[in-house]
Amino acid sequence: MSNIESINSFFKSINYISPWIYFDSMAWDEFDQSMAICFRKNQVVFVQNEISEYVYIVKSGRLRIFHTDSNGKENCIYIAEKGSLIGESSIIDDQPNFYSVVTIIDSQLHKIAKNDFLNAIQNNSHLNLKVLQNFSRKLRALSSEIEFFSKNSQTRVAVSLLSLAVRYGKDHGQNILISIRFTHEELAYLTNLNRVTVSNIFLDLFKKGIITKTNGYVALSDVDALKKMGQHCL
């Protein structure tokens, strides 16, 4: 069993669902995707409590979906990647958005007008099923995140690193190299921790040789140690 396969097996054992949401973009071919729009890194797509008139399909890029509580704290819900459908819940229940969306990297989205989206899913049972499957995937991820956020900071960082390895990991000798660069601040958003806490945990992991860096990319050197830290999810 490869390292990545062992992580997937571990996630099943703790009933953890990755917050990275991606979908087969071809599933949405039946929507009219002629309206394409490009967003730069850290650009807002829409904000919480805003009335939306569009649904978005992620053509490329990576976006952070988060809810801001009454104290102004941002709570990450999931990360949307290629093929993700965004904003459909507000259109379907005709209520303001309950989350905000901001790009993590430069992204391209297709936007679909409200009436076009509703007409399409009402008249196409296959498309309707795909939307329901998309909903189900997000609900499972959200349920998992609620449990995840109740764990200690070391567990949250360890599980997030393992999740990154599953999504972006590549074998690099005995290590798993995470093939995207990310900042401590970005991981802090994902784990609902502050940046200083994440930085201190990373420093400890580096000192212990559990993670290393190769050409600016983080590599997991001791997957078993990270899984042990993640056992607190049980």
Q: pLDDT for 42-92, tens place per residue?
A: 999 999 999 889 999 999 999 999 999 888 888 889 999 999 999 999 999
> Helices marked H in the chain — which ranges?
3-13, 88-93, 114-123, 125-148, 153-168, 184-191, 195-207, 223-230
Q: CB under 8 Å to 117, separation ≥6 — which residues?
A: 31, 55, 88, 91
Q: What percent of the chain has pLDDT over 70?
A: 97
Q: What percent of the chain has pLDDT over 90?
A: 64
CA 154 to chain centre: 19
Q: How far apart are CA 190 and CA 167, in angstroms?
A: 14
Q: What local confidence, expressed as pLDDT, does residue 23 receive? A: 82
Residue 27 per-residue DSSP state: G
Q: What local confidence, expressed as pLDDT, does residue 232 receive? A: 65
Band (1; pLDDT cuts 50, 70, 90): low
- Beta-carbon-side half-sphere exposure of residue 42 (alpha carbons within 13 Å): 2
Examine the pLDDT at 234 and tell me if it is beyond 70.
Answer: no
Which range, of 55-64, 181-190, 205-214, averages the lowest pLDDT?
181-190
